């Protein structure tokens, strides 16, 4: 299933297609030693749902999972771990395996492949230093090329005029410079290309409003240079320096790859059955870069293979079409392409599409997409009801999840084709009520290995997988026999999601991994900057009316309205500070572990009320801002102050909502006395709260004041080691802090530095990366009277190049 955030990026290559382009692959003949699956109906009976379900066995699913993992391992030479991401050997062999598995079934199916062009990019690591600062907001643009030789580059920052959309905005010669460009109306790719044409070695795009900036360079250009995005706040000090004539140095490092590839969808359709009335179902064949994707979506891929294999024992009245999509994790590329090139006549032959993504999450819930005919092509609700009826017949509980465009049904719904599906959960948090319904652990993800390396053979719950594969078999058998009672397909345009506010188009929140909506609220850091005066406001927009008494509350509401202005349904009332605030519960539940827990298994279209009682409305206002912007996981654990972090650190044990507000306040707001920075860092790491990390990083940066004594080296190493790789900010600060303090730290701590450094060799290589050139490294090493043990090989000038190759920038 496509996630909300990822580092590998891809996009469909520009193309114009007027008709369905599906290249037929000749059917392979079955080997004589294998059973022959013929489409002949002379000895076969019409498919029966109970009989087909009875053929589903866990041993067969598990055997295929082990095979798929072996295929993912074929990518280890390139990626250093198993993966089936598009463009990898693992994915290519996954496609070949699917094709061969179906081909070995004989002439029961017609197999076709559908190749389509895509551009794919992988960002392995990046870093940006402006002056002596590491911008915390720095992000790599997707589809960016690497820096030269995938090594750090150094140059002077040059401010580009206007918005950098015209060649005339750039100086005639930007050779070996880093272009600083304002965000504007032209594409990021245009800015990067013009910077490259002017000779720049890298480009930094800064936002023209508050907040960070990210995006894609789009179609690759030979003139693109490594391109970063930073916030307006991070850029302004450097802009002022440049305007005043002060020079600013920059170090940029980007290890990335961009390539144009062709990848493939596999389609298998029964040769028997009414070819003008097809029952279609699909799963995606690719994984994310990070892991083998055995649950996501190896489980769906295998379920379809198993059902397709067992179906050959029966005849069908309506054709059944199985699809394995490529590029789902990169933004639903394969399924989008398939629907986009379907001629109208072919589109109408598809009576329905059923999506099966993540069928065996370890901490599973039986989830049904809550598709209704009011918001989707007619027939979607009938699919939903089929799943409901089956779970109830088996005596199994189920829950609804939003039909929000996050998987491969999206293109079909937009193409006017009825859709639906089931899942078992991804990165959502399981509630206590769901534990009562399905078992498992509350407060944990449905799949703790979602989009990670550990999504391997051991990451599937066999009970859930078998149950859902039987349900897939039931859906196929039911509609392969008869479509009686299922709505007829009408005109494609009329069947498409309408422009009504309740339609799919206006309620969808995601398109695969891309967030379609974002509550663009400045989290916490901007809260104190707002006018603190009180005022009364009555806000009345469609479906939402609120009376608030704090200007901060109006600020919150205004941003929420940006999403809700087309929503007629508001089904959650939050009461605080004596006021009621109505919202759409999906917004808050998707962003907040607290609200998801408080609402438990909410019913669609049912109004819930959550009342919060606290003695500090300002803290609650700030916390509510946080809920609608950042989100966090609910982790019920007491955080006790220990002697190792100093006696002034106090016990922070509160009801979770108020607790996080107080932790935020500890980062330096007016509400509470700040905690020591090192204690705050442990809190932010444990709770994995991005907004708090940024504030902790800022506070920790302030601790780098040259007039203060340096923090203990042991603490610096601890911060570096324990900060997750995905959060480079704190690692970078630790490195930069040491780089500025190395001689003094060595003088003050002596052998303890030697011991600390020897434990973390990658820390050494990161410091070297920031220093930059060989000459600068040599000079730095010369300044160290007695290099500690961890530096010996790196400070040996004769070994510098090999040291760089064996760990530079890790």
Which amino acids are annotated catalytic? 328
> What does the radius of gyration of the chain's CA atoms come to, in whole angstroms?
28
Other C-beta atoms closer than 10 Å to the C-beta of 466 total: 20
Among candidate residues 7, 8, 10, the one with its CA nearest the CA of residue 263: 10
Other C-beta atoms closer than 10 Å to the C-beta of 678 total: 20
Separation CA 693–CA 301 (nearest Å): 38
The answer for residues whose C-beta is within 8 angstroms of residue 393's C-beta and 6 or more apart is none
Separation CA 37–CA 720 (nearest Å): 59
Separation CA 104–CA 102 (nearest Å): 5
The answer for residues whose C-beta is within 8 angstroms of residue 752's C-beta and 6 or more apart is 713, 714
Helix (H, G, I), strand (E, B) or coil at 573: strand
Sheet holding 579-583, edge to edge: 579-583, 572-576, 608-611
Residues in the chain: 810
- Answer whether 399's CB lies under 8 Å from 410's CB: no
Sort strands 572-576 and 608-611 into parallel, antiparallel or unpaired: parallel
* H or E segment to which residue 261 belongs: strand 249-270
Classify residue 557 by its DSSP letter: H
Separation CA 387–CA 153 (nearest Å): 56
Which residue bears the tokens 């109306």? 185
The answer for residues whose C-beta is within 8 angstroms of residue 586's C-beta and 6 or more apart is 402, 404, 509
Residues 802-808: contacts with CB under 8 Å, at least 24 apart: 803/765, 803/768, 804/765, 804/768, 807/761, 807/762, 807/764, 807/765, 808/151, 808/765, 808/768, 808/769
Residue 595 tokens, joined: 């609200």
* H or E segment to which residue 412 belongs: helix 409-414
Distance of CA 20 to the CA centre of its chain: 31
Separation CA 220–CA 222 (nearest Å): 7
Which residue bears the tokens 């630790």? 734
Residues 26, 21, 339, 450, CA torsion sign: positive
Cis peptide, bond prior to residue 297, ω within 30 of zero: yes
Separation CA 340–CA 345 (nearest Å): 13
- Answer whether 134's CB lies under 8 Å from 736's CB: yes
């Amino acid at each position: 299933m496509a996630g909300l955030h990822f580092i590998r990026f891809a996009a469909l290559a520009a193309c114009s297609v007027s008709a369905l382009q599906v290249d037929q692959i000749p059917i392979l003949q079955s080997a004589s030693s294998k059973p022959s699956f013929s489409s002949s109906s002379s000895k076969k009976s019409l498919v029966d749902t109970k009989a087909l379900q009875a053929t589903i066995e866990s041993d067969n699913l598990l055997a295929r999972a082990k095979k798929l993992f072996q295929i993912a391992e074929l990518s280890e030479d390139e990626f250093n771990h198993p993966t089936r991401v598009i463009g990898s050997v693992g994915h290519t062999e996954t496609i070949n395996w699917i094709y061969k598995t179906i081909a070995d079934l004989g002439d029961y199916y017609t197999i076709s492949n559908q190749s389509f062009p895509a551009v794919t990019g992988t960002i392995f690591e990046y870093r940006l230093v402006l002056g002596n600062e590491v911008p915390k907001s720095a992000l790599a643009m997707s589809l960016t090329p690497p820096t030269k030789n995938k090594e750090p580059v150094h140059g002077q920052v040059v401010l580009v005029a206007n918005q950098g959309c015209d060649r005339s905005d750039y100086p005639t010669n930007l050779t070996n410079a880093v272009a600083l460009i304002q965000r504007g109306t032209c594409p990021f790719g245009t800015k990067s290309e013009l910077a490259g044409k002017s000779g720049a070695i890298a480009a930094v795009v800064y936002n023209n409003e508050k907040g960070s900036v990210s995006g894609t360079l789009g179609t690759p250009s030979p003139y693109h240079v490594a391109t970063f995005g930073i916030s307006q706040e991070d850029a302004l000090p450097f802009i002022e320096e440049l305007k005043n004539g002060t020079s600013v140095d920059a170090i940029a490092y980007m290890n990335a790859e961009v390539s144009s590839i062709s990848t493939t969808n596999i389609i298998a359709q029964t040769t028997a059955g009414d070819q003008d009335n097809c029952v279609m179902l699909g799963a995606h064949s690719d994984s994310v870069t990070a892991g083998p994707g055995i649950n996501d979506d190896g489980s769906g891929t295998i379920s379809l293979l198993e059902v397709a294999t067992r179906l050959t024992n029966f005849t069908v009245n309506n054709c059944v079409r199985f699809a394995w999509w490529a590029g789902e994790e990169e933004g639903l590329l394969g399924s989008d392409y398939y629907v986009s090139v379907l001629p109208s006549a072919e589109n109408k032959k598809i009576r329905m599409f059923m999506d099966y993504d993540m069928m065996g999450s370890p901490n599973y819930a039986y989830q049904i997409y809550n598709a209704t005919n009011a918001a989707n092509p007619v027939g979607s609700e009938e699919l939903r009801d089929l799943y409901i009826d089956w779970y109830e017949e088996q005596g199994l509980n189920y829950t609804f999840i939003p039909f929000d465009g996050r998987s491969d049904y999206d293109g079909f719904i937009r193409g006017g084709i009825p859709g639906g599906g089931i899942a078992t959960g991804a990165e959502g948090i399981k509630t206590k009520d769901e534990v009562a319904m399905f078992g498992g652990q509350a407060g944990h993800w449905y799949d703790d290995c979602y989009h990670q390396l550990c999504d391997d053979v051991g990451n599937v719950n066999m009970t859930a997988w078998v149950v859902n594969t039987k349900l897939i078999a039931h859906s196929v058998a039911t509609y392969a026999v008869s479509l009686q009672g299922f709505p007829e397909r009408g005109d494609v345009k009329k069947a498409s999601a309408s422009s009504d506010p309740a339609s799919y188009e206006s309620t969808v929140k995601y398109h695969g991994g891309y967030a379609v909506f974002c509550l663009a609220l400045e989290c916490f850091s901007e809260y104190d900057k707002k006018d603190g005066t009180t005022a009364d406001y009555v806000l009345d927009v469609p479906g939402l009316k609120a009376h608030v008494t704090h200007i901060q509350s109006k600020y919150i509401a205004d941003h929420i309205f940006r999403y809700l202005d087309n929503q007629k349904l508001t089904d959650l009332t939050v009461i605080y500070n004596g006021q009621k605030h109505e919202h759409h519960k999906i917004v808050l539940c998707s962003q907040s572990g607290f609200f998801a827990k408080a609402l438990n298994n909410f019913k669609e279209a049912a109004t819930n009320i959550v009342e919060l009682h606290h003695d500090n409305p300002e803290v609650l206002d700030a916390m509510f801002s946080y809920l609608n912007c950042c989100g966090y996981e609910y982790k019920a654990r007491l955080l006790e102050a220990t002697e190792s972090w100093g006696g002034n650190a106090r016990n922070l044990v509160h009801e979770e909502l108020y607790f996080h507000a107080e932790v935020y306040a500890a980062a330096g707001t007016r509400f509470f006395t700040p905690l020591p920075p090192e204690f705050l860092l442990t809190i932010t790491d444990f709770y994995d709260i991005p907004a708090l990390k940024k504030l902790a990083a800022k506070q920790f940066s302030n601790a780098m004041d040259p007039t203060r004594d340096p923090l203990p080296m042991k603490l610096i190493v601890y911060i570096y080691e324990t900060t997750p790789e995905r959060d480079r900010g704190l690692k970078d600060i630790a490195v930069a802090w040491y780089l500025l303090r190395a001689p003094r730290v060595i003088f003050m701590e002596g052998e303890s530095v030697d011991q600390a450094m020897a434990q973390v060799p990658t820390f050494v290589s990161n410091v070297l990366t920031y220093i930059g050139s060989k000459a600068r490294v040599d000079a730095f090493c010369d300044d160290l009277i007695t290099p500690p043990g961890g530096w010996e090989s790196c400070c040996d000038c004769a070994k510098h190049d090999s040291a760089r190759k064996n760990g530079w920038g890790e």
